[in-house]
Structure 1
Amino acid sequence: MAKNRIAFYPGSFDPVTNGHVDQLREACRIADKVVVAIGVNPNKTPLFSVDERTELIREVAAPIEKETGSVVEVTTFSDLTVAAAARVGATMIIRGLRDGTDLDYEMQQAGMNAVMAPDIQTVFLPSSPLVRPITATLVRQIAAMGGDVSPFAPASVVARLKQKFPRP
């Protein structure tokens, strides 16, 4: 009998970028269910509310679910990633790698997580070349300055960013 592979994909997703979509698609190829987990930090003020981010994630996830046959759920968490992953029954945590800097940081996190939750494996997914330079921070900055973010984010996110940063 096949094992139910549940992946936990944590992040701020503020906003969802094409890099996130790339990672979600790849995670859905290796897991039966992917729980996209929006990290909530009370010390940070996000551009998009949790409800807005949840809605945007669900919008971009729908075609990926159809394409891969995986289920995508969205949740929030404000505690340790491994604790939140364990709560949803995840056996793996998905971490995207854009470059060597990401690798160095993520290896440290993976090592610490492995000690705290040895039954949850960290899975590193390399970003596709076209999305490697994309970060949510850069997308927010470009949008705030009136730049075109359509190459970097899904159309629904681009539309929401235009609402957040209307140009005269």
Structure 2
Amino acid sequence: MRVGLYPGTFDPITLGHIDIITRAASMVDKLVIGVAINRDKGPMFTLEERVAMVEAECAVLAETTGIEIVVHAFENLLIHCAKDVGASLIVRGLRAVADFEYEYQMVGMNRQLDNSIETVFLMAEAQHQAIASKLVKEIARLDGDVSKFVTPRINEALLARFAK
């Protein structure tokens, strides 16, 4: 069984993330969405909220594709998380050239830690390349319309968060 791991903070999950998840699911028998506890980023949504959002968005996708998609929260090294979930493949999404430089360094370090785990890069589709969770939150915070960047469920969660 080929297991892939797609890690991220998903604060919140966007249409760009869903695009990568959809395409990554076609490459593996099981896809694990690793929701990082990254305290340095100071996420807006709690870990429990982010996990619930990712689970809800991926449930429909798993049903339509027949691919097993599970959500796994983690706070350890990415390579250790991959081992924990039995992944032989790490999936990383790229939006722009700027993403590649950081990702390239991470792959080099991960290969030094465990060269049996491969990393693949998927470019976001053109209509999703500008979408970043950080920008989505900023637009929503300033009362902008983010419905082009997230699903209706996530849009509602953002509206509710900033209505407080």
Q: Provide TM-score, normalisation by structure 1.
A: 0.94
Matches within 5 A, 1:63-74: 63-74=60-71
Deviation string, structure 1 residues 63-111 (Cα, Å, up to 9, x no partner): 2112222111111111110011111100011100111111121111111
Runs of 4+ aligned structure 1 residues displaced above 3 Å come to: none
SS of aligned partner of 2:11: coil
Deviation string, structure 1 residues 13-63 (Cα, Å, up to 9, x no partner): 000111110010011010111111111123443111111111111111112
What is the CA–CA distance in structure 2 between the aligned matches of 1:111 and 1:117, rounded to whole Å?
Answer: 10
SS of aligned partner of 2:73: strand
User: Please, what is the CA RMSD of the aligned residues?
Assistant: 1.2
What is the CA–CA distance in structure 2 between the aligned matches of 1:125 and 1:76, rounded to whole Å?
Answer: 22
Change (3 A) 1:109 1:153: same
Residue type of the alignment partner of 1:7: G
User: Hey, what does 2:121 align to over in structure 1?
Assistant: 124
Equivalent of 1:98, from 91, 95, 98? Answer: 95
User: Hey, what does 2:153 align to over in structure 1?
Assistant: 156
Residue type of the alignment partner of 1:47: M
Deviates more, 1:41-50 or 1:18-27: 41-50
Identity %: 37
1:22 aligns with 2:5: no
SS of aligned partner of 1:109: helix
SS of aligned partner of 1:35: strand
Unaligned runs of 5+ in 2: none
Equivalent of 1:61, from 43, 51, 58? Answer: 58
SS of aligned partner of 1:46: coil
Q: Provide TM-score, normalisation by structure 2.
A: 0.96
Q: Report how far residue 112 of structure 1 moved.
A: 1.1
Deviates more, 1:34-43 or 1:119-128: 34-43
User: Hey, what does 1:135 align to over in structure 2?
Assistant: 132
User: Hey, what does 1:108 align to over in structure 2?
Assistant: 105
Unaligned runs of 5+ in 1: none
